Structure 1
Amino acid sequence: MATFAKSTFNSASYAAFRPTYPPALYNTVLNYHRGPKNLVVDLGCGHGIVPRYLSKEFKQAIGTDPSPNMIKQSKESTSSSEYPNVEFHVASAESLPFIKDGSVDMVVAGQAAHWFDYPRLFPELNRVLRKGGTMAFWGYKDHVYVSYPAASKMLVEYSYGMDQEKQLGSYWSQPGRSILQDKLRPIKPPEDIFEDITRLEYEAGTEGPNSGEGTMFVNKKMTMKQSMDYMRTWSSFHEWEKLHPNDKKRSEARSGDLIDWMYDEMKKAEGWTDEDMELDIEWGSGLLMARKRE
């Protein structure tokens, strides 16, 4: 089971520290879409940010997630008076029995597509999408401290090195993480079902904001402390944490955890001193769009 679907996962922290998606991303997807906007379905909806946003554009928005905790968080964050046309279901992406054949105008997935079982998913999408309906999946990979190349290099070393004591490489779920790292390129919509397949990608740079290549969709200013808390929402960190129960974060008056140790090195390399200093952060990303054949 994915870390995010487990009962021990802190969905409130996930909602607080994960980056959000800008209007430019939604507008790109909406401009690609053709035809009616009756029903949009978000697969792996997490805390419900995407269904809430798209509910302004569609008559009905449905969010699904296999995690009861995430669905609980979604419902608590979605006022029925403000969002009367949004509903949420505990469900896997690959099985949507509560959705009628050919009734979906758009199906989306934000930071969830790398978890899906595609031999099962594509037939289900073929069933629920109307002809000409849109599939839009997007995901972001590692963040980059765009003005701090040394810290960015250390982030990669800590994230993917294979030292089980001090690095996270062996704790990522595969092939999911590799799919994200490759900006969703391994996801290949069957051409007998989909057409007009389009990809937009971004690779962040380290020469300042907007120094990367491609179309940027995911960026955020974070304090150093916030960026540490963001990394503590990573699935790999949660797996590391299970095997190191005595290593707790320093802010709780403990000796420190892997994130504290990593930032100790970053502080030395970059001269960071104030954990409330703001960092410009960008994420490499991939957006995949396709239409169901007429």
Structure 2
Amino acid sequence: MATFARPTFSAKAYAAFRPTYPPPLFRTVLNYHQLPTPGSTLLDIGCGHGLIARYLRPNFKSVIAIDPSAGMITQAQQTTTDPAITFRQGSAEDLSFLSDGSLDMAVSGQAAHWFDYSKVWPALARVVRPGGTVAFWGYKDNVLVGAEQATVIMEKFVYGFGEVVPGVKGMGPYWEQPGRNIVRNLLRSVQFPEADWEDVKRLEHEPGEEGSEEVRWLRKTMKLGEVEGYLRTFSCFSSWKEAHPDVKSRADGGEGDILDIMWDHMIDAVPEWKAMGERWREIEVLNDWGTYILMGRRR
């Protein structure tokens, strides 16, 4: 998660291009929680720009939202007016600022793959009240439905370790591990300790497969220009840019960075896209992400 904490990381771009969470996801989580009691408190771990905290706030009296990135906290504070939401810089591993049994629910969206669970599980067991709940959810790589060849090229550039095209090596070495592999495996390696948690429920969806709305909750039609912007928020690309400071994107007046080259090959692979010429960014495509929801109740 160190990439998102770097001063060079753009929290505004992350907020603009990352997919939002749909109502079915929140319904699943709140139905599992069985609705909070009056005076209830929610903790949002790895809150980013505050999307989850703002959405869930009407269901709780107060929300505490933490993130290790100072830039994310600043972005969240600037876009949030509700005085019942408190943002502070902090990590999942250190919840010492919370008293025992003070939380009714703790959630984490697209951040739980970074946690050190040797510290997180004891911390959550201390601060979540008996009967309170924890819910983690997140997503992995999207597929471009109906554009399978373009998806294959995207996967090769994003995760390749050797040359993906002549003279260009993939961004595989620039992912922070083991976090990325953990989320690509839909958090299956993360298990609630049975001594402290019960009623554990896991929902997961592999991209491109069928499934109910409850498990296939992140599908979105986007313009290719929006997909391009989303890919530029990837942590591997941020690290790649730091390793190649002299390479500029075409948008910044350069000859093209690795994502510009990747899109050249993706556009060439789909005749309908190529026929659009310079207007390819206007084309709409359905994106389907792999997703998981992991929930447990404090004994």
The TM-score normalised by the length of structure 2 is 0.92
Aligned-residue identity in percent: 47
- Which residue is equivalent to 2:210? 212
Cα distance in 2 for residues equivalent to 1:248 and 1:163? 21
- The alignment status of 1:193 with 2:199, answered yes or no, reads no
- Which residue is equivalent to 2:267? 267
Q: Alpha carbons of 1:213 and 1:203: their partners in 2 closer, same or farther (altered >3 Å)?
A: farther
Cα distance in 2 for residues equivalent to 1:35 and 1:97? 26
CA contact (8 A) 2:36 2:59 kept: no
CA contact (8 A) 1:13 1:233 kept: yes
Matched residue SS, 2:287: strand
Q: Deviations over 1:54-75 (max 9, x none)?
A: 1011111111001111000000
The amino acid that maps onto 2:103 is V
CA contact (8 A) 1:34 1:133 kept: no
C-alpha root-mean-square deviation of aligned residues, in Å?
Answer: 1.4
Cα distance in 2 for residues equivalent to 1:71 and 1:35? 27
Work out which of the residue numbers 44, 47, 51 in structure 1 matches 2:46: 44
The amino acid that maps onto 1:53 is Y
Matched residue SS, 1:180: helix
- The alignment status of 1:67 with 2:66, answered yes or no, reads no
Cα distance in 2 for residues equivalent to 1:114 and 1:2? 13
1:37-186 residue pairs with structure 2 within 5 A? 37=37, 38-79=40-81, 83-163=82-162, 165-186=168-189
- Which residue is equivalent to 1:281? 287
- The alignment status of 1:24 with 2:24, answered yes or no, reads yes
Matched residue SS, 1:177: helix
Q: Deviations over 1:102-138 (max 9, x none)?
A: 0101100000001111000000001100001111000
- Which residue is equivalent to 1:249? 249
| 1:35, distance to aligned residue in structure 2 (A) | 5.9
CA contact (8 A) 1:223 1:275 kept: yes
Cα distance in 2 for residues equivalent to 1:145 and 1:74? 30
The amino acid that maps onto 1:237 is F
1:215-234 residue pairs with structure 2 within 5 A? 215-234=215-234
The amino acid that maps onto 1:4 is F
Cα distance in 2 for residues equivalent to 1:55 and 1:153? 39
- My pick for the range that moved more, 48-57 or 146-155, is 146-155
Matched residue SS, 1:8: coil
| 1:179, distance to aligned residue in structure 2 (A) | 0.7
- My pick for the range that moved more, 158-167 or 53-62, is 158-167
Cα distance in 2 for residues equivalent to 1:223 and 1:248? 23
Q: Alpha carbons of 1:100 and 1:259: their partners in 2 closer, same or farther (altered >3 Å)?
A: same
Work out which of the residue numbers 289, 293, 296 in structure 2 matches 1:290: 296
CA contact (8 A) 1:194 1:290 kept: yes
The amino acid that maps onto 1:33 is H
Q: Which runs of 5+ in 1 are unaligned?
A: 206-210
CA contact (8 A) 2:66 2:88 kept: yes
Cα distance in 1 for residues equivalent to 2:206 and 2:108? 20
- My pick for the range that moved more, 238-247 or 124-133, is 238-247
The count of residues paired between Structure 1 and Structure 2 equals: 285
- My pick for the range that moved more, 68-77 or 216-225, is 216-225
- My pick for the range that moved more, 220-229 or 69-78, is 220-229
Cα distance in 2 for residues equivalent to 1:265 and 1:51? 39
Q: 1 or 2, which has the higher helix percentage?
A: 2
Cα distance in 2 for residues equivalent to 1:47 and 1:212? 31
CA contact (8 A) 2:141 2:207 kept: no
The amino acid that maps onto 1:171 is Y
Matched residue SS, 1:36: coil
CA contact (8 A) 1:203 1:213 kept: no
The amino acid that maps onto 1:278 is E
CA contact (8 A) 2:221 2:287 kept: yes
The TM-score normalised by the length of structure 1 is 0.93
| 1:213, distance to aligned residue in structure 2 (A) | 4.4
